[in-house]
Amino acid sequence: MPHGRPPPPFPGGRDAFPQAASTVVPDPARFFAPALLSSPLPTNSFFQNFVLKNGDQPEYIHPYSVRSAAAALTLCYPARNHSPSFVIQTFVEDLTVSAASDAAAAAAGQRHRVAAFDDLSVTLDVSPSLRAFLVRGCPFVTVATADAAGPVDISVASVHAFIEVASCDDALTKWRLRMNSGQTFLLYASAPIRLAQSSVTQLSAPGFSGVIRVAYLPDPSMEAVLDQYSRCFPTAGEASLNRPFCVEYTWRKQGWGDLLMLAHPLHLRLLSEDCCVRVLDDFRYRSIDGDMVGVVGDSWVLRTDPVSPTWHSMRGISDDGVGEVAAALRKDVDALASSSITTTSSYFYGKAIARAARFAVIAEEVGCPDVIPAVQRFLKATVTPWLDGSFQGNGFLYEPKWGGLVTLQGSKDTGADFGFGIYNDHHYHLGYFLYAIAVLAKIDPSWGRKYMPQAYSMVADFMTLSRKHGASYTRLRMFDLWKLHSWAGGLTEFADGRNQESTSEAVNAYYSAALLGLSYGDTHLVSIGATLTALEMLAAQTWWHVREGDTIYEDDFTGNNRVVGVLWANKRDSGLWFAPPEWKECRLGIQLLPVLPISEALFPDISFVKELVDWTMPALSREGVGEGWKGFVYALEGIYNKESALQKTRALTGHDDGNSLTNLLWWLHSRGTADDGVVGFSRCCWYRQYCH
């Protein structure tokens, strides 16, 4: 796709599924400006807490945690608590900015309002007098007085005692605020501001009109840099996916001079050498995601290596393994005729149909085309009712308040379908359906054409790129273009912010969308799916996979964990939603399932795979460990010790409901030798002419 051309919309709209009258989603009109309500709204964004319940839970807008409540904006440069089982950032009211004229609004419980939002920022009308430009990765928090408010009396408060409040220039536009906590904040103003200390914890400034910028000072040596870039501030930002395997950031700014922002570790890894920015290696802010480093420039280009989504294994199945895989395949396919899917859960149903779809693809690879018609009949019988509305007990519906798919059960019960009705886990559930649909459309093109509108609506629910008014679905519902991975939390308020447990199921979603693009000959969908797949995998390797000696997290946590259980915006937890930290086999499994050709690109480092398996293996001796979870451990062991893994896999008496003996044998017999400790996943990209 040529540079700069906006991506075409997916051909799936709100009419592909019946409209729902949900009784469980909250009313977005409580927090969003009226002009925003006519378009689909984000349901899993970095500022989601601001628009749920009372809107007063903080959100982590790197490098600060920010809370808006009682007509005031509070920021915190968070400290971390840690142990062998968790790392967590704690919120403390370091500085609170408010306007005295808004006291009546605060007393009346008037809520803030989201005036604008985009991929990289949210503009919050905190009160009638104050507007905050909250831009991710900005070392300053920027607050402006409202034009209509005129000069307002500003209050700056802290939970700490101020031990120094000093003007740093004759113009009264820079102040140093030092506290008994040991912290120092710098306050910059676009016009003279006369701060006076009214109490140990309270400052006031009369009659101010303009822009205030507040920055924490981690080290005295960084003050000159903050001074230099204090007069240019971002008001909004856009992340573009106009080229495959490339994300471009562009910020809108006001003021004078160059723009200073902060990059997290994955940004720095992907920052292209040909973009006009300057990296300030010694300018660093602490973050739960690793040190954030200063970058000067109002436009960034991030590039990742191409990953080509393929139906089959990279190297093919070894000659001595074809017979064993084929025998298991015939047995598993025969069992489809005598088994039915009894669950009505969209998640478990999706896993079951994706499991069956794997048989058709593996049959192609081992030369058993005669079993494919049986798989085709099973998939048509089980997938079609969810697409034509005839499934009994559940189904997909379009919910218009926020703009997205929900399930029939989820439209009435927040707990049904793991919260799908309040936009939780959409990429997980839909990813499994899309894999089955992609396979069925591949082997039965006429069926694929008939149900293309429903298939594309399921893609569009979580992969829409359009920002246009009148779109059916919000932009990239689950994927965070600043963190470069997905979140799964939906319309639920969490004190620790957004969260995601399974990175591999997120990878499956974007990979399956790319396969759907292959089935329909849609290079745009293949490109977007492959790009998001590549980014999700890199983020998983950066923040979920914990290698011995890594320095992102504290030593006690790193030493005790080889993989994160649930990753939150403000927390890293070794426990899972469904299992305690000691169930290491579940932690490994939830970061691997489902086992697919793309899985080897998710785990390319053999030395880390061995660390992870060695760390997990002792847990398998615990009484009651599920056979299905053992299978995932053996799958990873097979990357470096195929024969041992095969022996253990053959002895399994059961498999995960989305897995099978056929799939595990396919995986193990398609493992080969690797050079230099890195799995040889193909980086060949058949649409390379579109790449950078």
Residues marked as catalytic? 425, 501, 505
Residue 241 near residue 303, CB atoms below 8 Å: no
Give, as one character, the DSSP assignment of residue 252: E
- Torsional sign, CA 44, 46, 49, 50: negative
The enclosing H or E element of 82 equals strand 79-82
Beta strands in 264-379 (DSSP E): 278-285, 292-296, 299-303
In this structure, the strands spanning 141-145 and 211-216 are: antiparallel
DSSP conformation letters of 101-162 = GGHHHHHTTPPPEEEEE-SSEEEEE-SSSEEEEEETT-SSEEEEE-GGG-SEEEEEE-SSPE
Alpha-carbon gap, residue 44 to 420, rounded angstroms: 12
Alpha-carbon gap, residue 280 to 262, rounded angstroms: 9
Q: Tell the residue number behind the tokens 């990239």, with chain if given.
A: 476
Q: Is 463 exposed, middle or buried (0-12, 13-18, 19+ CB in 10 A)?
A: buried
Q: Can you say whether residue 663 is alpha, beta or left, with left for phi > 0 and alpha for psi between -120 and 50 degrees?
A: alpha
Give, as one character, the DSSP assignment of residue 315: S
Reply yes or no: is the peptide bond before residue 234 cis, omega within 30 of 0: no
- Side chain identity, residue 407: T
Q: Hey, which residues does 186 pair with through a beta bridge? A: 176, 215
- In angstroms, the first-to-last Cα distance of the chain is 10
Alpha-carbon gap, residue 128 to 104, rounded angstroms: 10
What does residue 307 show for φ and ψ, rounded to 5 degrees?
-125, 125
Q: Tell the residue number behind the tokens 């101020």, with chain if given.
A: 162
| CA-derived radius of gyration, the chain | 26
DSSP conformation letters of 512-557 = HHHHHHHHHT-HHHHHHHHHHHHHHHHHIIIIIB--TT--SS-HHH
Residue 422 near residue 25, CB atoms below 8 Å: yes
Q: Tell the residue number behind the tokens 């995960």, with chain if given.
A: 656
The enclosing H or E element of 234 equals strand 232-243
